[in-house]
Amino acid sequence: MTLLWFCLLTASALPDRTAPPPAPPPAVRRLDEATTWSPSPHLTVHALRVPDAATFLLRLDLPAPPSDPRALAATEALVALWTAPSRALTAIAATVEVELSAAGPQLSLRAPAEHADAAIAAWADALRAPRLRPSALRDLAERRAARPDPDTAAAIAALTMERAWFHDRALPAAPHLAAPALPLSAADLLLAHQRSLHRGVITATLVSPWTPEVARRALEPLLADLGGPDQPEPLPPPRPGLIAVHLPGAPHATVWLRLPLPPTDPLSAAQLTHLLIGHPAARLPTALDEATAAPARLRSRTELREPVHALTLQLDLPTAHLARAMRTTERTLDELHAAGPNEVELAAAGRHAARAWGEALLSAERASDLLIALARRRSTLSEARARLTAPAALQAAEMRSLVEALGDPNAPRLWVVVCDRTVARDTLERVGLAPVWLDAASVLSADLPLSPPTNPAR
């Protein structure tokens, strides 16, 4: 009855549509701090308690393997070993996932929270004594033989970008497409497995309903002897240029642009991408819309894991607009560098970050993403919150320093364009960057004889 009266009283007035209603800035919620401990000099654990978490999620950041092709190939092959379905894990709906990047592999164990103990026990067994089925190597070879043709523009763009940016040093982000067919024995694989887990500094992050004491006790058998004293090799500096990959019949052009970022905290990086491409009224979509009058599909990926700090913009658009879209993107970045973000952009990015912050603990995936991003930066949740609640001028200064880096004339910009050469050659020539043309098949064969030219426009 009270509800009814309240509704009747407050709903009687007609809305005022002469102006949109104001939206006050969102509150930045307080989140409980994660617990950090180091079971060994080579391993740090960050555990975040989410009392009503439905999912238990444990992630391990492993260092990059040595840079020789054999070690890279073995690490890629390990994905098959690490993610091979285990009956014990499948029965409790637990999964193991692996993500490869130039900074090294990341292993994730995900399970329903009520089966966390069983999942840890099963995974500890699998990591301690991996069972390489007799048919595993044959399966791996068959999987390579059956790997798909180069018909996925985004996968080809990713592969080309990783190889060219890091001089073939990078682990492929799309391993099923990338494996060089080096002959590997079972012994090679087991050795690579042991080396992966026992070299360099490992960072573990845990999101679970457990208290810190319970988490510490539960993880001990799994993490006890991980990590090792050796340091990963430094990556070579990235190279600028324009690489065009010919994909016959490609219906559109897929365009990737990678720019180096300075080491920065993940919330600032997220705000940068938000103001650049995060919504339809953001800088780049607006500029592209004005320049081409055609919708482009826009995405971005930020990598902030030592030693890789980069922003990759991804566009998918009609090939006819290719040159105009690339020039518009360059110009938008230069304008942002010259004038900096405006107050409206900064306020919008700040509010978006505050909202995302509040939702961070609603899923294990989001909580883990935030936790690991902060752990890689050796930062904490309370420090991150302090940055979000800092005076606007301080937040603006942080963003301006990032924008400075994006527009640095000495910073390399690497373009990768995947398109049909017969349709795109003329338009691409108009960009003025002297593209190096490759065939999609050569990208897949891991044979990139690249010495990408210096970008003459910069």
Residues 121-140 that bind other proteins (CB under 8 A): 139-140
Q: Which of 153, 197, 310, 431 binds other proteins (CB under 8 A)?
A: 153
At closest approach, how far in Å is the CB of 202 from other proteins? 26
In order of 2, 136, 264, 441, the CA distances from 261 in angstroms are: 56, 40, 8, 31
State which of residues 243, 282, 371, 406 lies at the interface with other proteins (CB under 8 A): 282
Which DSSP letter does residue 149 get?
P
- Report d(CA 84, CA 27) in Å as an integer: 44
First to last CA, the chain: 70
Among 36, 99, 117, 147, binds other proteins (CB under 8 A): 147
Q: Environment class of residue 38 by beta-carbon count within 10 Å: exposed (0-12), middle (13-18) or buried (19+)?
A: exposed
Contact 173, 162 (CB under 8 A): yes
Query: How many residues are there in the chain?
Result: 458
Binding residue (CB under 8 A) for other proteins from 37, 38, 41, 51: 51
Q: Per rule CB under 8 A, is residue 250 in the interface with other proteins?
A: yes
**Which amino acid is residue 338, in one-letter code?**
A
Q: Which of 1, 68, 149, 449 binds other proteins (CB under 8 A)?
A: 149
35, 66, 67, 92: which one binds other proteins (CB under 8 A): 92
Q: Which of 33, 151, 220, 383: binder of other proteins (CB under 8 A)?
A: 151
* 37 vs 437 by CB, closer to other proteins: 437
Nearer to other proteins, 119 or 226 (CB): 119
Sequence letter at residue 447: D
Q: Is the Cβ–Cβ distance between 282 and 275 less than 8 Å?
A: yes
Number of residues in contact with other proteins, rule: CB under 8 A? Answer: 81
Rounded CA-CA distance 319/249 in Å is 11
Q: Write the Ramachandran bin of 126: left for phi over 0, alpha for psi from -120 to 50, otherwise beta.
A: alpha
Assigned token pair, 408: 């640095």
Considering only residues 7 to 36 of the shown chain, the ones binding other proteins according to CB under 8 A are: 7, 10-11, 13-15, 17-18, 20-27, 29
Distances (CA, A) of 213 to 33, 48, 52: 15, 12, 17
Give me the 364-403 binding string for other proteins, x by CB under 8 A, dash otherwise: x---------------------------------------
Q: Is 234 in the site for other proteins (CB under 8 A)?
A: no
- Under the binding rule (CB under 8 A), the answer on residue 248 touching other proteins is yes
The nearest distance, CB 451 to other proteins, in angstroms, is: 28
The beta strand positions in 307-346, using DSSP E, are: 308-317
Q: Does residue 421 belong to the site contacting other proteins (CB under 8 A)?
A: no
Nearest Cα neighbor of 429 from 421, 438, 441, 418 is: 421
* 93 in contact with other proteins (CB under 8 A): yes
172 is a contact residue toward other proteins (CB under 8 A): no
Segment 304-363, which members bind other proteins (CB under 8 A)?
Answer: 316, 318, 344, 347-348, 350-355, 358-359, 361-363
What is the identity of the amino acid at 318?
P
Task: Please say which residue, 6 or 437, places its beta carbon nearer to other proteins.
Answer: 6
